[in-house]
Structure 1
Amino acid sequence: MHNVGTSIEQWSENPRLYFADLEAEVTAAVIAASADLALVLDGQGVIRDLSIRGPQQTELSDVRQWVGRRWVETVSVESRGKISSMLETAAREAASGGPETGAARPERQVNHPLSGGQELPVSYSVVPLGSQGRVLALGRNLGALAAVQQRLVDAQQSMERDYLRLRHTEARYRLLFEAVDEALLVVDANTFNVFEHNAAAARLLGENSRRIIGRPVIDFLAVPSQAGAQALLALGRNAGRGESDELRLAGNAAPMRMVVSLFRQENASLLLLRLIDLTGPAATAEDRPVSEAESLSLTQVVNAMPDAFVLTDMHGRVLAANPAFTNMLQLPPGDAVIGQPLDRWLGRSSVDLNVLISNLRQHGTLRLFPTTLRSAYGEPGQIEISAVAVADAQPPCLGFSIRDVSRRLPADGRSNRQLPRSADQLTNLVGRMPLKDIVGETAELIERLCIEAALELTRDNRASAAEMLGLSRQSLYVKLRRYGIQDMGQGAGSESDA
């Protein structure tokens, strides 16, 4: 090991002893093997030759076009000062006879713009070559490191967004948990110890929070009710849900009903207990049937709604509809829609209704589903649907609230001919237009915007705009007439493109 160290030290102190007789080919091979990117510059900073090592030859094909250009012109604007500084340092070293023996050469990181909007980060160190001003720039490709750093930043931002979303969800849960008047307790499914409770539960049990958390929920029940409650908790743990007929709390003679629901959190099984006072106003409101007057009022409200409302069976066949729905279909008032399948008017095909029914059966509710509604004369209109499934009704049914959005202005005030700003806005067209029409309109829109941008950049110089777009002048004129694009500059018509 000592001999190796001595050898390396001698290299740095007396390089002429070992490298003075190297041929140019050997020196070039050593340079190409030691650097990802090596540039040979003349005294004016123009790149005269370069070398790319390894798999970057296919990735950095743009680099081959640097030969003959000034080095400072191949980097981004913010990196040009670093290039000038490195060239000045190399010139001073050449004038003074070279750097101090054994001194480390500082590296500067610069960015090279590439085609496709990408950038190549490279860390350079420069070495003067003789007294004629030539400079050798040795670079390390930092692309892989930059990609890893970018992935790290993206992961950190994703974690921060998830953490913020989790905090908001927790805040909403806590607000709802504490705001309800019903006593709620969360207990461990294995030990039946209280894990969490709301303020209503503390008032009902007559205990403060410190004396409730961690205690078995059985301790808060009267002795005659404990055996039944124990069996109910075991049933909820095994079957996922259970409900008692009547039980009593310790020191409270009022009859209660306990409803048990199982859920999982962080690989742990928990039980949500609802304690319902059978003599309280909540139970009275829950158990009493809807009066005939209330049912009549609800029917009047639905019929007077400006938005369409449709009630169907679980297969999408219309059971009832309000007048607004028949108005949207341009049908006379009456029972013309009763018994008809909703997909007769809804969506471009039966796919939309099948998607709606599938989601309702799975999730129970659906909000702001965009689709189309065809009138009795086949005229389509843009609508949004919010729907709910009532599976425990007799018979089970689906309710659809339908809103006409064809006259709704865009939220950001954009015209219909402007390019959508995100993929979400393009995907919102699915179901409203065929894929062929979406792709065709988007392609035409992009083509028109590119032509307008080229004319604006060239101040309506048609020849320059055609060259910029890679078109012949005749092809450009054809597209101008197709899209109805007028002269964009004040000097139009003066044949500035001649």
Structure 2
Amino acid sequence: MHNVGTSIEHWTENPQLYFADLEADVTASLVAASADLALVIDGLGVIRDLTVRSAQQAELAELRSWIGRRWIETVSVESRSKITAMVDAASSAARDEAAGDSSPAPLERQVNHPLSGAHELPVSYTVVPLGRQGRMLALGRNLGAIAAVQQRLVDAQQSMERDYLRLRHTEARYRLLFEAVDEALLVVDAVTLNVFEHNAAAARLLGESSRRIIGRPVIDFLAVPSQAGAQALLAMARSAGRGETDELRLAGKASPMRLVVSLFRQDNASLLLLRLIPLDPNATVDDRTASGDSPTLAQVVNAMPDAFVLTDMQGRVLAANPAFSNMLQLPAGESLIGQPLDRWLGRSSVDLNVLISNLRQHGVLRLFPTTLRSAYGEPGQIEISAVAVADAQPPCLGFSIRDVSRRLPADGRSNRQLPRSADQLTNLVGRMPLKDIVGETAELIERLCIEAALELTRDNRASAAEMLGLSRQSLYVKLRRYGIQEMGPGGGAGAGPESDA
């Protein structure tokens, strides 16, 4: 090993001791053996000769056609700057060597050669100067095999990602079905009988939170007289794959249940799927909820800070929570039931008709802006989200109403600024007549244009009138109309006609 190290050191420091007397054929053989592709380049960058190792016959013929062409013309467009950089570095190294200076290590760059058949040949080149005539030797390493491996890796990774995405979609569908069914489902480890997973219906039936169900033995949730029979059923399901019991009872529950068990495997583990089916169809509700120990939906709606109103399909009030009464400021003793909702709701009677029409057509409506008039006639800005329940008995409409009169605007625009979108103008429809909307918008535009002209002309009335295409007298009339001449220095306009100079 010492001799090898010494010989390499001698080759690095004194290559003339070993290679000075080599003949051209030997040197060419060395070049051909050391590179997959070797090019001899003249001082003008033209390929004069080449050697190729292990190439297909068709590919070899195409590579041979490079002889006589400029090297930079055989590569793709994005690789041409790399060819220029390698040629410049080799030329600089040749000049340094002629001057007796040490030259830096040759550059190595990867370029792509376009070939017929719409594919490319990736090659990593190192350029070495040959003598003082400007010739260069480009030693190339074929990266086609590496590129093929990389492409297979990319294809494999994309295939894995597609499989992973397909698995995620399958899991999402399983989870949706698992949670959507009304039956209580439990997934139990077949060996330990600990609960591995459950759906929402099982949590409601057992009356426990998910944290207290996962990991506990399923036997703990059964009444003591039913535990022995359930254990025998689970043992039979482990061997036979399926089992069913006629009747058992859960701990603390009086309603009888039927237990159906199925065996399946997942990740080399045996699991049991348990279905708890009430024998009495009327006893499917959790006992705690039925006895009033937990809040019902009606209690939650009544406690909501936002108003909620239930009407028939014609908009007559069937029920409302206290927040709606507070929003209307109704006198004591006045009832809402049976009253038409458009008595208080809408900028006009059209609003409720639009709401009901959309609900009948689409079934749901979100964030509809309108107004709510109190019992004293005071309007307030509100947003409505509504839903139609056509399959209820009787069919009804539900309205969730939120007061937005105290909501801060999304931007800090002053009243003198133009609306930034057509949506802000269309929101005025119903609140103001069309004539007033158009007139107010036109006046606002006119005023802003006059103020902009005065600002550009540094308050020169004559120049501002000329810029706007108005006579001076017409400009003065508009200034008095909008009160701009009284605005003073901070108002964006001057103080009077005397600033015409």
What interval of TM-score do these two structures reach, taking the shorter chain for normalisation?
0.5 to 0.7
Give how far 1:206 is off: 1.9
Give the alignment's Cα RMSD to 1 decimal.
2.4
Give how far 1:275 is off: 0.4
CA separation of 1:212/1:70 partners in 2, compared to 1, >3 Å: closer, same or farther?
same
Give how far 1:130 is off: 1.7
Assess if the C-alpha contact under 8 Å between 1:32 and 1:51 holds in 2: yes
The corresponding residue for 2:257 is 256
The AA in structure 2 aligned to 1:191 is T
CA separation of 1:171/1:30 partners in 2, compared to 1, >3 Å: closer, same or farther?
same
Give the distance between the partners of 1:236 and 1:60, measured in 2 at CA: 69
Give the distance between the partners of 1:279 and 1:100, measured in 2 at CA: 100
The AA in structure 1 aligned to 2:72 is V
CA separation of 1:223/1:126 partners in 2, compared to 1, >3 Å: closer, same or farther?
same
Give how far 1:38 is off: 0.4
| Structure 2 residue matching 1:190: 3-state secondary structure | coil
Give how far 1:101 is off: 4.6
The gaps in structure 2 that reach 5 residues or longer are: 285-501
The corresponding residue for 1:212 is 213
Assess if the C-alpha contact under 8 Å between 1:13 and 1:102 holds in 2: no
CA separation of 1:152/1:47 partners in 2, compared to 1, >3 Å: closer, same or farther?
same
TM-score (ref. length: structure 1): 0.53
Assess if the C-alpha contact under 8 Å between 2:89 and 2:107 holds in 1: no
The corresponding residue for 1:267 is 268
The gaps in structure 1 that reach 5 residues or longer are: 284-498
The corresponding residue for 1:92 is 92
Give how far 1:156 is off: 2.3
Give the distance between the partners of 2:59 and 2:283, measured in 1 at CA: 70
The corresponding residue for 1:113 is 114
Larger radius of gyration: 2
Give how far 1:100 is off: 5.6
The AA in structure 1 aligned to 2:111 is V
CA separation of 1:60/1:203 partners in 2, compared to 1, >3 Å: closer, same or farther?
farther
CA separation of 1:282/1:33 partners in 2, compared to 1, >3 Å: closer, same or farther?
farther
Give the distance between the partners of 1:44 and 1:262, measured in 2 at CA: 79
Give the distance between the partners of 2:204 and 2:112, measured in 1 at CA: 66
CA separation of 1:100/1:4 partners in 2, compared to 1, >3 Å: closer, same or farther?
farther
Give the distance between the partners of 2:160 and 2:283, measured in 1 at CA: 42
The corresponding residue for 1:372 is none
1:73 aligns with 2:73: yes
CA separation of 1:65/1:154 partners in 2, compared to 1, >3 Å: closer, same or farther?
same
For structure 1, which segment, 45-54 or 137-146, has the greater mean C-alpha deviation from structure 2 after superposition? 45-54
The corresponding residue for 1:18 is 18
Give the distance between the partners of 1:108 and 1:56, measured in 2 at CA: 24
1:37 aligns with 2:46: no
Percent of matched pairs sharing the same residue: 78
TM-score (ref. length: structure 2): 0.53
The AA in structure 1 aligned to 2:194 is N
Assess if the C-alpha contact under 8 Å between 2:90 and 2:106 holds in 1: no
Give how far 1:17 is off: 2.2
Give the distance between the partners of 1:96 and 1:194, measured in 2 at CA: 78
The corresponding residue for 2:161 is 160
Give the distance between the partners of 2:30 and 2:37, measured in 1 at CA: 12
Assess if the C-alpha contact under 8 Å between 1:79 and 1:110 holds in 2: yes
Assess if the C-alpha contact under 8 Å between 1:12 and 1:101 holds in 2: no
| Structure 1 residue matching 2:105: 3-state secondary structure | coil
The AA in structure 1 aligned to 2:107 is P
Assess if the C-alpha contact under 8 Å between 1:12 and 1:102 holds in 2: no
1:27 aligns with 2:27: yes
Give how far 1:39 is off: 0.6
How many pairs does the alignment contain?
284
Give how far 1:282 is off: 9.4
Assess if the C-alpha contact under 8 Å between 1:82 and 1:108 holds in 2: yes
CA separation of 1:282/1:116 partners in 2, compared to 1, >3 Å: closer, same or farther?
farther
| Structure 1 residue matching 2:205: 3-state secondary structure | helix
User: What do residues 315-357 of structure 1 show as CA deviations (whole Å, max 9, x unaligned)?
Assistant: xxxxxxxxxxxxxxxxxxxxxxxxxxxxxxxxxxxxxxxxxxx
Give how far 1:276 is off: 0.7
CA separation of 1:240/1:163 partners in 2, compared to 1, >3 Å: closer, same or farther?
same
Give the distance between the partners of 2:61 and 2:215, measured in 1 at CA: 67
Give how far 1:147 is off: 1.5
The corresponding residue for 1:83 is 83
